Structures are given as C-alpha cells and as structure tokens.
Amino acid sequence: MTAHQPDPPMFEPDAWGLSDQERNLAALARDIGQSKIAERAAGYDRDAAFPVENYRDMFDAGLMGICIPEAYGGHGVDLRGYAVVAAEIGRYCGSTALTWNMHVCSCLWSGALTDDLEMDDADRRRHEANRAVHYRRILDEGAIYAQPFSEGGAAAAGMVAFGTTALRVDGGWRVNGKKIFASLAGNADFYGVLCTELQSADDRASRGNTLYLAIPADTDGVTVEGDWDPLGMRGTVSRNLLFDDVFVANGAELMPPGFYFKAASQWPHMFMTLTPAYMGQAQAAYDFTVKYLRGEMEGVPPVKRRMYPTKQIAVAQMRVMLEQTKSVWFQAISEARANPSKDQVMRAYAAQYTVMENANELAQLAVRTCGGQSMLKNLALERIYRDSRCGSLMLPWTAELCLDKLGRDCLYEPGETDED
Ligand SMILES: Cc1cc2nc3c(=O)[nH]c(=O)nc-3n(C[C@H](O)[C@H](O)[C@H](O)COP(=O)(O)OP(=O)(O)OC[C@H]3O[C@@H](n4cnc5c(N)ncnc54)[C@H](O)[C@@H]3O)c2cc1C
C-alpha cells in the first residue's frame, strides 16, 4: 500500500458545523477511501466487477450499519450524516458509493425516515419486529441489501404503479416481475424490491399499494440475467432481475404496506440519497486537477503547469462551481425531514440537479484543463468523467424530471390551474 498525505475533508467539520459523529465517520470513510478503495477502483471499472473487497473493509469498519438506529446497534446516522460520509467514499470510487447507497437506503428508509411518519401502534410494533431481523442480518452476518426499483417503464419515475406484483397468499406473498438496472445484482444477499401488493389476482394495481419487500437472493424463482457493459459506474453490476412466482414470507416488509407511497410524498428528500456518490465525484475531479497542475500526480512525470494564467482561471472556475455545488447540496440535505415546506422541496430539486449535472461538468473541465495526458486510462480522471455522466440519469429525480417539477412549482401554487 502506498503511503499518502491524508486528503483534507470535503466538508471541514468546524466550518460546516458537523456533529462529532459526522466528523468521525467522515474521517473514517476518507481514510478507508484513500488508503484502500482508491487503488482498487480502476480494476473494478475495467472488469465491470462488484467491489467485494471494499464491502469487506466497510463492514469491518462498522459502516454497513451507518443508518441503523442506535437502539438496534447501528450508528443511527440521519440523511445528512450519511450523505457527508458517502461523499467521501464517492470521492475515491463512484461505484462503491452508489451501490452502498442502495444498501444504506434499506436502513435509512426503514429507520429514521419511517420513524418520522405517523403510524398506528399495531403497525409500529410489527415494523419494529420486522426491521430488527433485517438489521441483525446486516450487523451480525454482513448481509448486503440492494434496491431494485426500475422496470423500464414509468413506475420508477413515480408516475404509475410498479409492474412487479406481490400477490397476497397464505403466510406471505407471491412475487412476479422484472427489474432492470438492479445494482448489486448477483452480489447482494437481499433484494429490497418495490412492488405492487395485490389482495387477489384481479385486484387493480395502485401506487398507494406499493410494498417494499426484502427478498433473499437465493430464493427459488429469483434469477439474475443480462450483460453489464456500460459507459460508467461499471462496478455497480446493475443487471436485470427476474422474479418468477417467488414466495416471500410475512415479515419481509422493509416498510409497512402503503408506507413507501406515504414516504415518497411526505419525505421527498429520500430521493436525494443518490447524490452523495456524485458529490464525491465532483470533488474528485477538482482534486485531480489541483494535483495534476501542481505536478504531484502519481504515475505522471512531475511537470508543473500551475504557473499559466489560463490554468489558474480554469481551476478558479472549477472551484466556484464546486463551492456552489457543495453549498446548495449541504443546505438541502440539512433540511431533510418529514413534511418540508414547498421552498425546501424546490431547493432539494435544485440541489439534486446541480450535483448530478455539475459533477460531470467539473470532470469535463478537468480533462480540458489538465490536457491530453490526463485522460489516459492509467489515471482516474477518465473514469470520473464516465462515472459522473450517470448521475443525471437516475430516476426518480433525473436532471430532466427535477427541472420539470421545479418549473411547475415555480409557476403554480398547489391547486392552481389555467382553466379560469
Ligand atoms: C449506474 C446506474 C445504476 C443504477 N442502479 C439502479 C438500482 O440499483 N436500482 C434501480 O432501481 N435503478 C437503478 N438505476 C436505474 C435508474 O434509476 C433509471 O431507472 C434508469 O437510468 C432509467 O433508464 P431508462 O432508459 O429506462 O429511462 P426512461 O424511463 O426511459 O427515461 C428516460 C429519460 O426520460 C425522462 N423521463 C422519464 N419519465 C418521464 C416522465 N414521466 N416525464 C418526463 N420525462 C421523463 C427522464 O429524464 C429519463 O432520464 C441505475 C442506473 C444507472 C445508470
């Protein structure tokens, strides 16, 4: 292992007002990221292979239970704390941070987020018993959870009910359907599947009946299929998943029936959980440029380029964009809560759009500024350029859909139409 000068924090703890827990966990993630994850990233990218070794290290460091409530043995970190820590991982390997997000959501959404929603006592008791089982698996057995939502239609954008169905049967459900882009496919122990619960075969599918079920990967009828050879985020191994008459027993619910739909409208920041990986990529593009222009990049002759005024202006522009991105993002993730104001939701859309678009913009500015040698495959920048391109494609808050929602919210108040 190479000895490194420790990288400075992305969010200087005192300046950004981080809690001691946020400061310590971010330092831990940065240390593992810099000393272990960074040097493995090129191999996972080249082979489009899942970052198994990184997951082992994150488990050993206690990071897999970051959002498991303290009462169940986890760190009990909220969305902001998780996001700041995950951004430090994303700085060194986008695929590791993005897949870790899928896992962490199974804990954050069933944990702090669900605790914020009103629930009757019976539902609460059942939910607490169910989630205790999921959390023990993660903390004691090292179980990894995936989060397959996407189906290739309008469901992942929240427009229609999921086509994957869970038919109520004795003792549980029978699940049928297909998910595409299932990160961690073939590598997760459980698939946290979003599907539509049906009470009978002729029941009408409704978004309100969305069910979030943890399906063991080795259950009969679960198959991983298709190739995975994408432009970027190659280590996510986001292959297709088929569910053919898969029996899932009662207790597999990650949220009580109907609560995913409630959460999506009452706790909208839940969809910002995809941004930390890309916030880290934005920082990585900037870090690369500074190191390169100072002639300090490993694997490259130590030629300094920092004395040219054009380079100084270019890196200044990158710094401005990075500061803008970090600021709106930090503010928005700090505002994550149940029933945010309209203004806070609009800022969340703006922050999501900004991170997802600016990460790739910063990467392309980095390539232009550093020059031809910087985009050779032996350096991290060309991977950052490809990985960061994926951010604005992630449903339900793609860059386009953020603009779409934001534009409407800017011009219409709730209930307003153009009919009168
Ligand atoms: C690296 C990577 C990892 C991923 N991992 C996961 C994962 O683990 N789990 C998971 O569930 N998904 C995952 N996804 C999938 C992702 O969230 C999207 O579902 C996927 O990129 C959508 O691709 P599509 O071509 O089917 O999009 P389409 O649904 O065809 O949409 C294409 C574009 O049209 C726009 N659009 C879509 N719907 C509307 C609408 N109603 N109105 C206006 N515009 C619209 C959007 O901007 C969208 O980008 C991953 C994607 C990537 C790139």
CA distances from 6 to 3, 27, 30, 56, 290 (A): 9, 10, 9, 22, 15
Q: How far is the CA of 29 from the centre of ligand 1 (A)?
A: 28
Going by alpha carbons, the residue nearest to atom 30 of ligand 1 is 152
Residue nearest (by alpha carbon) to ligand 1 atom 36: 401
Task: State pLDDT tens for residues 67-113.
Answer: 999 999 999 999 999 999 999 999 999 999 999 999 999 999 999 99
Q: Report residue 377 as tokens.
A: 């495959």
Q: Is 233 in the pocket of ligand 1 (CB under 6 A)?
A: yes
Q: Which residues contact 325 (CB under 8 A, 6 or more apart)?
A: 279, 282, 354, 355, 358, 359, 362
Long-range contacts of 323-330 (CB under 8 A, 24+ apart): 324/354, 324/358, 325/279, 325/282, 325/354, 325/355, 325/358, 325/359, 325/362, 326/10, 326/11, 326/279, 326/282, 326/283, 328/354, 329/83, 329/275, 329/279, 329/354, 329/355, 330/11, 330/16, 330/80
pLDDT tens profile 13-55: 999 999 999 999 999 999 999 999 999 999 999 999 999 999 9
359 contacts: CB under 8 Å, gap ≥ 6: 278, 279, 281, 282, 285, 325, 388, 391
**Best mutation site among 395, 397, 404 for ligand 1 pocket (most ligand atoms within 8 Å of CB):** 395
Q: Average model confidence (pLDDT) for the chain?
A: 97
> Ligand 1, closest atom to CA 146?
8
Predicted local distance difference test score (pLDDT) of residue 299: 87
Rounded Cα–Cα distance for residues 135 and 109 (Å): 12
3 pLDDT more than 80: no
d(CA 38, CA 32): 9
- Please name each of the domains of the chain with its CATH number: 13-143 (1.10.540.10), 165-261 (2.40.110.10), 267-411 (1.20.140.10)
Q: Nearest C-alpha to atom 23 of ligand 1 is from which residue?
A: 152
Mean pLDDT of 345-371: 98
- Regarding the beta carbon of 152 and ligand 1, being less than 6 Å apart is answered yes
Percent of the chain with pLDDT over 70: 99
Contact 311, 38 (CB under 8 A): no
- Pick from 96, 105, 94, 44: nearest CA to 279: 94
Tell me, what's the pLDDT at 419? 84
395 CB near ligand 1 (under 6 Å): yes
Beta strand 165-169 with 190-198: parallel, antiparallel or unpaired? parallel
Higher local confidence (pLDDT), 186 or 419: 186
pLDDT single digits (tens) 122-151: 999 999 999 999 999 999 999 999 999 999
Angle between helices 276-293 and 342-370 in degrees, nearest 10? 30
Residue 4's pLDDT band (cuts 50, 70, 90): low
Cβ of 407 below 6 Å from ligand 1: no
Write down the pTM of the prediction: 0.97
In whole angstroms, what is the distance from residue 8 CA to residue 97 CA? Answer: 19
Residue 1, pLDDT above cutoff 50: no
CA 138 from centroid of its chain's CA atoms? 18
182 Cα: distance to centroid of ligand 1 (angstroms): 11
